[in-house]
Amino acid sequence: GAGVSQSPRYKVAKRGQDVALRCDPISGHVSLFWYQQALGQGPEFLTYFQNEAQLDKSGLPSDRFFAERPEGSVSTLKIQRTQQEDSAVYLCASSTHEAFHGYTFGSGTRLTVV
Amino acid sequence: DAKTTQPPSMDCAEGRAANLPCNHSTISGNEYVYWYRQIHSQGPQYIIHGLKNNETNEMASLIITEDRKSSTLILPHATLRDTAVYYCIVRVHLGGSQGNLIFGKGTKLSVKP
């Protein structure tokens, strides 16, 4: 597709449930980022991939958060044993290595933990 | 990374120019100024970036002061669809492993008819 696709668009999870959020980046984009956006705040960095290599995971808030991009294309962000504080919009972005035209973001997955 | 300061909100009349300021007084010589915007329920959208020269594209113009301590994003003829949160970000560069963007709270621009 022409843009970054994220699914599901909305997810409601019961506290303690595991969730998996999917990101389909623009074809050929080497770099892929995950961000977390709480209500009323700017997006906050979670993790970065260059192809299949996870080069930076300094923003992951706890070991319950795990991201992968096994073939250097689609990425999955997994959250284990969800807590209410995990409720947020999770954004995925991709770019070419040089990122001359900035990053292209998806519309995000809104996760609500009840 | 250098921090930026933006007003929390601004109003603009439809059809008029919207001028969004950003202060980045601690910017380093090799750091770029980037602007993104986020329309409600969408992901951020890249607008423009610059190092020290003024830049213009189909979306906006970016004016950077000579001392690079501040900049202004100009939307020349604002429309209702320009209502969004606008983020000013400074980074060394976007490519490669240093590409993480640090967003602040941005400026909520409301374009009114």
pLDDT tens profile B24-66: 999 988 889 999 999 999 999 999 999 998 999 999 999 999 9
Check CB contact of B87 with chain A, cutoff 8 Å.
Answer: yes
Contact residues on chain A for B106, CB-CB shorter than 8 A: 42
Contact residues on chain B for A42, CB-CB shorter than 8 A: 85, 87, 103-106
Contact residues on chain A for B87, CB-CB shorter than 8 A: 42
pLDDT tens profile A90-100: 999 999 877 77
Prior bond of A70 cis (ω within 30°): no
Listed range (A36-40, B62-66, B91-95) with the worst mean pLDDT: B91-95
Q: B111, B16 in Cβ contact below 8 A?
A: no
Check whether A1 has a pLDDT greater than 60.
no
Q: Which of A94, A103, A110 to mutate to test the interface with B (most CBs of B within 10 A)?
A: A103
Q: B10, B109 in Cβ contact below 8 A?
A: yes
- Cα radius of gyration rounded to whole Å, chain A: 13
Check whether B97 has a pLDDT greater than 80.
no
At residue A98, the pLDDT reads 73
Judged by CB atoms closer than 8 Å, whether chains meet at B104 and A105 is answered as: no
Average pLDDT score over chain A: 94
At residue A46, the pLDDT reads 95
